[in-house]
A and B are shown apart, each in its own frame.
Chain A
């Protein structure tokens, strides 16, 4: 389906021009892969702020800290191509508002979620019409949020949650891209970011929730050592897919810490291989889920601070009066 109302870009993806000077040798590519410099259980820093979009009833902006390689490449660029990318997204919540006339009576809040990549968000240009991956993310986000919202307190009304992804996570390192048919691992991180940002925006809109739901990602990766051998699979939290040659499996969860409940779980990849041949028997999907939950706990601390800041700003007069 083509979009006739706009002037579209080229139908196939565009890629920034690769200049000869940036690829001095074949080994240049392999050494160009960014390396993870964090500990396996160390998360990237989050920036989360609510209430940035005044016309919406609730909004939030989320940004991941750029990984060390990206930060280094930005300060002293070796190439025009950034080695990795860091997630940036904005979430708006509109509502509660009346349902459209055609909709049937609903005693509950009707939740609709839209996830849209900006055309410039990924290395591959995204069209204006939502593609399969964006619809997929929207469905995952809806299941994650549906278990959190107290829907029966808002009869006959609808809630629209719209997420615009300004910069997406890479699915893999760009140098691997041409010959890789790997799974889109970056979507897991995007989903986790969407869940955390949507939770903050819903709290900002003062829609009743059971808890602040946070998203987290963990993955089992087998990294190459310097000699080119693959090491034993390891569990890593908050993986940046550009930093790993082979991700065996990954898991994204939406987790409510105060109730210890998971509202959404998304497992991808083959984790049977990971549990074989290692001394740690506990490296199956349960370890993967536990790792993702731990990553979500980390995101929740940031989320709680951001929501608290929003509530205090909201009740600023009252607190100021008490302090005086």
Chain B
């Protein structure tokens, strides 16, 4: 069935009837047919249980893995439920990133730009894709899925780059009651975030005209990178403490579970 599919689709190209496929990201449906809406490689996501139709999608990101091409004869790619550990098994099917925009429930990395009594303002650096959010316990997977995350983070954590391009990034708010799940009324924002911290958060709402709303009320969400007052990168020691490896001092943060 994949023989009739083109390897690379262009917008407006017919991919297949809706009777035999279901439309995935990068496609749209017109007259009971699936058409590509972006240019890129065509992916067929066949479900192991043959009851459901396989999903046709057009990838937005380049595939680094030839086995994920539609003409591959390798066993069907594991779905998100079969989490692969970060063993020496690199041919993990590379899920295409659906959207570069933050959507509800997507996990984002953001930099804190302002801390107030009731809320913290952050600017969203990168939206992590589905495969990352489905098993966020594995930081190596998140690093391998988006090559540029490390580059984005290292440049964003550098104090010299602050406020250079915040206007071009989506702004978000972490309200005081969304910081953690327990003892919400005892939250002191100054002890949770500092300006310049890199925070992993989950989008709870598209918000109003200017801000998205994020939450860090989960164990795996919170500050992932922070610098101490002395300017050294700190490592987490507990869910609310990070320590400076040089000065040895400890600072309070809402720390994300690192592994």
Contacts and interface: CB of A to CB of B under 8 A. Distances in A.
A112 B116 CA distance: 34
A315 B66 contact: no
B209 A258 contact: no
Contacts of A299: none
A257 B62 CA distance: 27
B99 A153 contact: yes
Contacts of B170: 98, 156-157
Contacts of A99: 209-210
A153 B38 CA distance: 12
B39 A307 contact: yes
A104 B208 CA distance: 8
Q: Which among B10, B30, B39 has the highest number of chain A CB atoms within 10 Å? A: B39
B173 to A, nearest CB: 13
Given A104-B209, A206-B38, A311-B8, A98 B168 contact: yes
A310 B39 CA distance: 8
Given A156-B206, A206-B60, A210-B11, A258 B168 contact: no
A235 B42 CA distance: 41
A311 B13 CA distance: 13
B248 to A, nearest CB: 40
Contact of B11 (A97, A103, A104, A211): A211
Interface residues of B, number: 40
B69 A105 contact: no
A98 B167 CA distance: 8
A175 B12 CA distance: 44
B176 interface: no
Given A101-B210, A206-B40, A311-B39, A211 B12 contact: yes
B22 interface: no
A318 B206 contact: no
Contacts of B210: 98-99, 101
B15 to A, nearest CB: 11
Interface in A101-119: 101, 103-105
A203 B10 contact: yes
B188 interface: no
B47 interface: no
Given A105-B208, A258-B14, A318 B39 contact: no
B168 A97 contact: yes
A315 B209 contact: no
A156 B209 CA distance: 7
A96 B37 contact: no
A303 to B, nearest CB: 9
A287 interface: no
Contact of A318 (B10, B28, B63, B208): B63
A5 interface: no
Nearest to B167: A98
B64 interface: yes
Contact of A105 (B12, B38, B209): B209
A97 B69 CA distance: 30
Q: Which among B12, B26, B35, B168 has the highest number of chain A CB atoms within 10 Å? A: B12
Contacts of B40: 206, 311, 314-315
B133 interface: no
A304 B10 CA distance: 7
A21 B171 CA distance: 65
A204 B11 CA distance: 11
Contacts of A312: 8
Interface in A291-324: 304, 307-308, 310-312, 314-319, 321-322
A99 B212 CA distance: 12
Given A103-B209, A203-B39, A315 B100 contact: no
Nearest to B166: A98
A78 to B, nearest CB: 44
A259 B12 contact: yes
A155 interface: yes
B258 interface: no
A203 B58 CA distance: 13
Interface string A205-229: 0111111100000000000000000
B37 A315 contact: no
A256 interface: yes
A101 B26 CA distance: 29
Contacts of A97: 168
A209 B7 contact: no
A81 interface: no
A96 B101 contact: yes
B41 interface: yes
B62 A317 contact: yes
Contact of A258 (B13, B65, B100): B13
Nearest to A305: B10
B203 to A, nearest CB: 11
Contacts of B64: 317-318
A259 B62 CA distance: 28
Contacts of B69: 318, 321-322
Given A157-B170, A259-B30, A315-B41, 4 more contacts: A105-B209, A311-B8, A315-B59, A317-B63
6 contacts: A156-B101, A208-B37, A209-B37, A307-B39, A317-B64, A318-B66
